[in-house]
């Protein structure tokens, strides 16, 4: 459920704002986010757990825009962060430090020190060398670092090999047996306070069974640790819940997910945490783009003809199709009238590589130069992964709330882009 739809006038709006008005005011390409959708997704996720009241640590990497984080923080969300930059963003957006979790396989000494200084709620430690480094840094500071051990349960899941994180051959976390050993070591360290265990097995997961399997293994680990006399107060079950990208059956709802979790942790007295990213923000955002032109290559001997829809958005603005073969629905901003014929398009951007192809042979109503389209479900890992490749300006972002909209990250100017660099003194 989202708040991007065609109005009675046949024009697509985000809540009360016609998307074409944003395209006119801000230019294209531009990301547009819906406050109502963010609020709805957060409350549906939160309410699914009822009285359990887990920490919902929004995975900032999915969409690090400060206004997006603040919208969620105001509802009570915490933040799952993976770099000093993300911790700084979460704090700047108003997430209290005691709701910030710091994850990641390669935290630097500087980042660990920073996390201790600001007092994050928990550092999810992913390896033995990291545990040793953190123990040393905390000892130097004369503090005890609150930690969880990130476990790799050897159960992978997710929408693409590149985003599956839970198998033993992936770089994330430690094995079950290593986790037991490290937890006991940490409990004996004067500068570490192990409070729980964490896992995250992948992203865009559309089947609850691998998650359930992993969560059962986590429960068993909690019970083993407790049997050894170790205190385990927290269980962080990560993110990963998938969203409908329109080309696949609907993924499990937050309610079904929460019911499964409830069954797994039944009777276990423990504080739960989750790190949802995509499920909160994906369908709360679209990428608006304008058709530059349609380029038709006629069929020649031995070859098929092609029809390229050349957009002003490119792989640098939305890399998911190029990187994960991801599907994004593409809709014209003006609803096609009944009976409009459809044509097959290869939808491409202006970047100079063939990988800059959003989709091939997509059937769309006939479109022409100047028409506007929206890439749906682009609120997660869209703008977050954008770059300036081909010296294209970083794509701006707009947040809608009811009938209002605000540019929450303006498009830089070419002067801004060039001013970030320095010519070497000898040139
Ligand atoms: N927690 C940890 C430790 C993670 O590594 C991730 C995502 C999350 C939580 C949030 O997962 P989510 O709920 O969003 O599935 N760029 C890829 C997705 C990469 C996910 C990386 N880790 C994409 O565009 O599909």
- From 282, 300, 316, give the residue that closes a domain: 282
Residues 19 and 86 in one domain: no
Residues 237 and 385 in one domain: no
Residues 256 and 292 in one domain: no
Pocket of ligand 1 from Cβ distances under 6 Å: 59, 62, 80, 103, 163, 165, 200, 203-204, 238-241, 275-279, 320, 324, 380-381
**Residue 242 alpha carbon, nearest atom of ligand 1:** 15
pLDDT digit string, tens, across residues 121-133: 999 999 999 999 9
Contacts 24+ apart (CB under 8 A), 254-262: 254/44, 254/45, 254/48, 254/279, 255/44, 255/48, 256/208, 257/48, 257/208, 257/211, 258/48, 258/49, 258/50, 259/48, 260/208, 260/211, 260/212, 260/215, 261/49, 261/215, 261/237, 262/49, 262/52
**128-141 and 176-187 helices, crossing angle to 10°:** 20
Q: For residue 241, how far is its CA from the centre of ligand 1 (angstroms)? A: 9
Residues 17 and 94 in one domain: no
pLDDT value of position 247: 65
Q: What is the pTM of this model?
A: 0.97
- 342 pLDDT band (50/70/90 cuts)? very high
CA–CA gap between residue 126 and residue 172 (Å, rounded):
7
Residues 258 and 117 in one domain: yes
Residues 101 and 228 in one domain: yes
Residues 101 and 211 in one domain: yes
Residues 300 and 402 in one domain: yes
Q: For residue 243, how far is its CA from the centre of ligand 1 (angstroms)? A: 12
**Rounded mean pLDDT of the chain?**
96
With 80 as the cut, is the pLDDT of residue 294 above it? yes
Q: Ligand 1, atom 19: nearest CA belongs to which residue?
A: 163
Q: Ligand 1, atom 5: nearest CA belongs to which residue?
A: 200
CATH of residue 343: 2.40.37.10
Q: For residue 315, how far is its CA from the centre of ligand 1 (angstroms)? A: 19
Residues 203 and 288 in one domain: no
CATH of residue 225: 3.20.20.10
Q: Are 36 and 405 in contact (CB under 8 A)?
A: no
Residues 28 and 40 in one domain: no
pLDDT value of position 1: 64
Cα dist from 291 to 10, 53, 285, 377, 390, whole Å: 19, 46, 19, 19, 19
Residue 374 forms part of a structural domain: yes
Q: What is the best residue among 203, 251, 317 to mutate for testing ligand 1's pocket, by most ligand atoms within 8 Å of CB?
A: 203
Residue 172 forms part of a structural domain: yes
Residues 270 and 392 in one domain: no
With 80 as the cut, is the pLDDT of residue 83 above it? yes
Cα dist from 401 to 44, 71, 121, whole Å: 19, 10, 31
Q: Which two tokens stand for residue 18?
A: 């016609």
Average pLDDT over residues 319-323: 98
- From 282, 313, 343, give the residue that closes a domain: 282
Q: For residue 354, how far is its CA from the centre of ligand 1 (angstroms)? A: 26
414 or 171, which is more confident?
414
Residue 322 forms part of a structural domain: yes
Cα dist from 303 to 296, 297, 358, whole Å: 13, 10, 21
Residue 425 forms part of a structural domain: no
Closest CA to 121 of 200, 46, 215, 54: 54
CA–CA gap between residue 67 and residue 73 (Å, rounded):
10
pLDDT digit string, tens, across residues 164-189: 777 888 898 999 999 999 999 999 99
With 70 as the cut, is the pLDDT of residue 40 above it? yes
Min mean pLDDT across 37-41, 229-233, 246-250, 305-309 is at 246-250
Query: Taking the CA of residue 127 as centre, how many other CA atoms within 13 Å lie in the half-sphere pointing to its CB?
Result: 11
Residue 206 forms part of a structural domain: yes
Positions annotated as catalytic residues are 352
Per the structure, the count of domains in the chain is 2
**Residue 62 alpha carbon, nearest atom of ligand 1:** 14
Average pLDDT over residues 334-355: 94
pLDDT value of position 339: 87
- From 248, 282, 316, give the residue that closes a domain: 282
Contacts 24+ apart (CB under 8 A), 402-405: 402/15, 402/16, 402/35, 402/36, 403/15, 403/16, 403/17, 404/17, 405/14, 405/17, 405/22, 405/32
Q: Which two tokens stand for residue 297?
A: 């290559």
**Residue 240 alpha carbon, nearest atom of ligand 1:** 15
pLDDT value of position 409: 98
Residues 96 and 163 in one domain: yes
- Classified as helix, coil or strand, 318 is coil
Q: Which domain holds residue 358?
A: 4-32+283-419
Q: Ligand 1, atom 22: nearest CA belongs to which residue?
A: 203
Query: Residue 82 gets which letter from DSSP?
Result: S
**Residue 380 alpha carbon, nearest atom of ligand 1:** 24
Q: For residue 203, how far is its CA from the centre of ligand 1 (angstroms)? A: 5
Q: Which two tokens stand for residue 117?
A: 């200084």
Most distant pair of Cα atoms in the chain: their distance: 76
Q: Are 34 and 63 in contact (CB under 8 A)?
A: no
């Amino acid at each position: 459920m989202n708040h991007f739809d065609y109005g009675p006038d046949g024009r697509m709006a985000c809540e009360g704002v016609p998307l074409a008005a944003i395209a006119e005011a801000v230019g294209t390409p531009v990301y547009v986010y819906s406050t109502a959708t963010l609020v709805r997704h957060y409350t549906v996720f939160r309410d699914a757990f009822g009285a359990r009241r887990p920490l919902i640590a929004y995975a900032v990497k999915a969409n690090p825009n400060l206004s997006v984080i603040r919208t969620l923080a105001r509802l009570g969300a915490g933040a799952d962060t993976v770099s000093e930059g993300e911790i700084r963003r979460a704090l700047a957006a108003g997430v209290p430090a005691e709701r910030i979790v710091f994850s990641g396989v390669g935290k630097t000494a500087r980042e660990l020190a920073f996390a201790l200084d600001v007092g994050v709620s928990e550092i999810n430690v992913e390896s033995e060398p990291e545990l040793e480094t953190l123990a040393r840094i905390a000892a130097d500071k004369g503090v005890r670092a609150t930690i969880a051990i990130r476990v790799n349960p050897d159960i992978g899941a997710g929408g693409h090999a590149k985003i599956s994180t839970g198998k033993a051959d992936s770089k994330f976390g430690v094995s079950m047996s290593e986790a037991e050993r490290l937890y006991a070591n940490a409990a004996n360290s004067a500068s570490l306070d192990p409070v729980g265990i964490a896992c995250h097995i992948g992203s865009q997961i559309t089947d609850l069974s691998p998650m359930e399997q992993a969560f059962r293994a986590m429960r068993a680990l909690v019970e083993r640790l407790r049997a050894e006399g170790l205190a385990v107060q927290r269980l962080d079950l990560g993110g990963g819940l998938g969203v409908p990208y329109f080309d696949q059956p609907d993924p499990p709802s937050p309610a079904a997910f929460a019911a499964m979790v409830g069954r797994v942790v039944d009777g276990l007295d423990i504080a739960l945490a989750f790190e949802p990213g995509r499920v909160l923000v994906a369908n709360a955002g679209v990428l608006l783009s304008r058709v530059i032109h349609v380029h038709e290559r006629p069929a020649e001997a031995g070859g098929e003809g092609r029809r390229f829809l050349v957009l002003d958005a490119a792989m640098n603005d939305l890399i998911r199709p190029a990187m994960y073969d991801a599907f994004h629905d593409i809709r014209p901003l003006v609803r096609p009238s009944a009976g409009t014929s459809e044509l097959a398009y290869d939808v491409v951007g202006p970047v100079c590589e063939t990988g800059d192809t959003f989709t091939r042979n997509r059937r769309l109503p006939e479109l022409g130069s100047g028409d506007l389209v929206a890439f749906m479900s682009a609120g997660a890992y869209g703008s977050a992964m954008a770059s300036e490749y081909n010296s294209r300006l970083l794509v701006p972002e707009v947040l809608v709330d009811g009938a209002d909209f605000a540019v929450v990250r303006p498009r830089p100017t070419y002067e801004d882009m060039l001013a970030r660099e320095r010519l070497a003194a000898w040139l």
